[in-house]
C-alpha cells in the first residue's frame, strides 16, 4: 500500500483542468490545436500553475507518452550553463517521432541563471529552434534578459484567488475522505500565501494527524513547518537578553533541523514583521543581518556566526526616542492644512 503526494496526485492532467489562469490557458489550447507554438516564457509567483500548465500542455500535445518528448530541467539545480547545454544538445539530437513537429524543453526557475548564462542559453535556443520549443519559467520576467524575452511569447500567471485555493482544498478533502471546517481551509490559504503547492502539502500534513481538520490541527502543522518563534528570538536579543535569545534560537534550529542559512532567511523575514520597533533600529537589524549572512557564507562554522549576530543585535536599541518625531511632524502638518 502506498500513498501518493497530493501535489502530484491532483496535478491537472489537461489544460482544461488548470485552475484560474483562463487567459493563459485559452492561448495555450490554441497552440495544441494548431500543433505549433513559439518559445514560451511563463512568469508568476510560486505555486500558481506554471509547471502544471507546462505539463498539461505537453500532455495535450503529445498524449500519454509525453515524457519522451519533453525534457524537464531546473536551472537552480543544474551546475552551470554548460551542463544545461549538454543536456539540451543530447535531447535535441533525436527527431520528434510524433505528429507534432517539435520537442519541448521546460526550463524551470530560469531566473536563477546569471546574465551570461542566459546569453549562452539564448544561443542554444537559436541553435535548436528547428526541432525544439522552449518553455522557460520564472518568478519575475524582469530577471530574464530582453533578447530572450523578445524570442518568447510571455505569459503572466496571476495570483490564485482565495476562493480558488479553498475550492481546490475542499475538492481534495472530499476525495480523501477528510472532514474540515471553513476556518481551517481559510487558515491554510493564509499560511500558504496563495501558493497551491504549499497549500496541498499543508493539507496532506494535516491528514497525518486526523481526518477531522480544524484550525488547531492546521496551526500545529504551520508552527512546525514555519517557526514563528523566530520573532521572539530577535525581540529577546534587542532587549539585551542574549542568553535567552541564543537558547531559543538553537532550540528552534534543533527542533526544525534548520541550517544557518535557513535561520538567517527567516530572521530577515521576521525583522520586517516586528511590531513596536523604531524604524531606524529595524534598518540596523537588516544591515546586521546582511553583514552576518555574508559572514555565514564566508565562514566555516555557522553557529559561531549566528551567535555573533545575536550579540550584535543586543547593541541595537529597539525603542529609541526617534519614534516620536514623525507623529509630531504629522501634527504640525495638520495644523498647516487647516
Partner 1 sequence: MKQWVQKYQPKKLNEIIGQQKAVAEVYNFWRNFKQSPKKAILVHGPPGCGKTSLIYALANQENLEIVQINASNFRNKDRVESILKPATQQASIFGYRKIILIDEIDGMSGQKDRGGVKAVIEIIKKTRFPIFITANDPWMDKLRTLRNYCQMAGLGKLDSSIVFKQLNSICEMEDIEAEELALKKLAVSVGGDLRAAINDLQSMASSGKITNAELNLWSRERDETILNVLKIIFKSFDPKIALSVSNDIKEDINTLNLWLEQNIISEYDMKSLVSATDAISKSDIFLSRIHRWQHWRFLIYARAMSVVGVQQAKKEANRHAMSYKKPGLIIKMWQRAAKRKKAKGIADQLEGKLHCSTRVLQKDFMPYLNFIEEKNPEMYKKITTSLGI
- Binding residues (CB under 8 A) for partner 1: these are 1-5, 7-8, 11, 46-47, 51, 55, 72, 74-77, 108-109, 112, 195, 197-198, 201-202, 204-205, 207-209, 221, 224-226, 240, 242-243, 246, 250, 253-254, 256-259, 292, 295, 298-301, 303-305, 307-308, 311-312, 314-315
Compute the distance between CA of residue 338 and CA of residue 335 in angstroms, rounded to an integer.
Answer: 5
Of 122 and 312, CB closest to partner 1: 312
Which among 81, 85, 20, 17 has a CA at the least distance from the CA of 55?
Answer: 17
Query: Which residues lie closer than 8 Å to 125 by C-beta, 6 or more apart?
Result: 39, 134, 148, 151
Of 72 and 127, CB closest to partner 1: 72
Of 127 and 226, CB closest to partner 1: 226
Q: How many helices (H) and strands (E) does the chain have?
A: 17, 7
Smallest separation (angstroms) from partner 1 to the CB of 7: 6
Smallest separation (angstroms) from partner 1 to the CB of 264: 13
Smallest separation (angstroms) from partner 1 to the CB of 251: 10
Strand partners, 180: 213
Smallest separation (angstroms) from partner 1 to the CB of 77: 5
Residue 89, SS3? helix
Smallest separation (angstroms) from partner 1 to the CB of 57: 13
Q: With beta carbons less than 8 A apart as the criterion, state whether 151 and 58 touch.
A: no
Of 41 and 249, CB closest to partner 1: 249
- Which residue reads 539540451 in cell numbers? 88
What are the phi and psi torsion angles at 36 (to 5°)? -145, 145
Of 32 and 58, CB closest to partner 1: 58
Q: With beta carbons less than 8 A apart as the criterion, state whether 194 and 228 touch.
A: no
Amino acid at each position: 500500500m502506498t500513498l501518493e503526494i497530493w501535489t502530484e496526485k491532483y496535478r491537472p492532467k489537461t489544460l482544461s483542468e488548470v485552475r484560474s489562469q483562463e487567459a493563459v490557458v485559452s492561448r495555450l489550447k490554441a497552440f495544441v490545436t494548431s500543433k505549433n507554438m513559439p518559445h514560451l516564457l511563463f512568469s508568476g509567483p510560486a505555486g500558481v500553475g506554471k509547471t502544471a500548465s507546462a505539463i498539461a500542455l505537453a500532455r495535450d500535445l503529445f498524449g500519454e507518452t509525453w515524457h519522451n518528448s519533453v525534457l524537464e530541467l531546473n536551472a537552480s539545480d543544474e551546475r552551470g550553463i554548460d551542463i544545461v547545454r549538454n543536456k539540451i544538445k543530447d535531447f535535441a539530437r533525436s527527431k520528434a517521432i510524433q505528429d507534432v513537429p517539435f520537442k519541448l524543453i521546460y526550463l524551470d526557475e530560469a531566473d536563477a541563471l546569471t546574465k551570461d548564462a542566459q546569453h549562452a542559453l539564448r544561443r542554444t535556443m537559436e541553435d535548436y529552434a528547428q526541432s525544439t520549443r522552449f518553455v522557460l519559467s520564472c518568478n519575475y520576467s524582469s530577471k530574464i534578459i530582453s533578447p530572450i524575452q523578445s524570442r518568447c511569447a510571455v505569459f503572466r500567471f496571476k495570483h490564485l484567488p482565495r476562493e480558488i485555493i479553498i475550492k481546490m482544498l475542499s475538492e481534495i478533502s472530499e476525495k480523501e475522505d477528510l472532514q474540515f471546517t471553513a476556518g481551517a481551509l481559510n487558515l491554510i490559504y493564509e499560511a500558504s500565501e496563495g501558493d497551491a503547492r504549499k497549500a496541498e502539502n499543508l493539507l496532506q500534513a494535516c491528514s497525518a494527524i486526523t481526518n477531522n481538520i480544524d484550525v488547531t490541527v492546521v496551526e500545529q502543522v504551520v508552527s512546525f513547518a514555519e517557526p514563528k518563534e523566530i520573532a521572539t528570538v530577535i525581540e529577546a536579543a534587542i532587549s539585551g537578553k542574549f542568553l535567552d535569545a541564543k537558547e531559543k534560537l538553537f532550540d528552534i534550529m534543533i527542533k526544525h533541523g534548520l541550517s544557518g542559512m535557513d535561520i538567517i532567511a527567516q530572521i530577515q523575514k521576521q525583522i520586517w514583521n516586528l511590531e513596536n520597533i523604531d524604524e531606524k533600529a529595524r534598518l540596523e537589524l537588516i544591515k546586521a543581518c546582511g553583514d552576518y549572512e555574508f559572514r555565514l557564507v564566508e565562514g566555516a562554522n555557522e553557529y559561531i556566526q549566528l551567535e555573533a549576530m545575536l550579540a550584535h543585535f543586543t547593541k541595537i536599541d529597539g525603542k529609541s526616542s526617534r519614534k516620536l518625531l514623525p507623529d509630531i511632524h504629522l501634527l504640525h502638518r495638520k495644523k498647516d492644512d487647516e
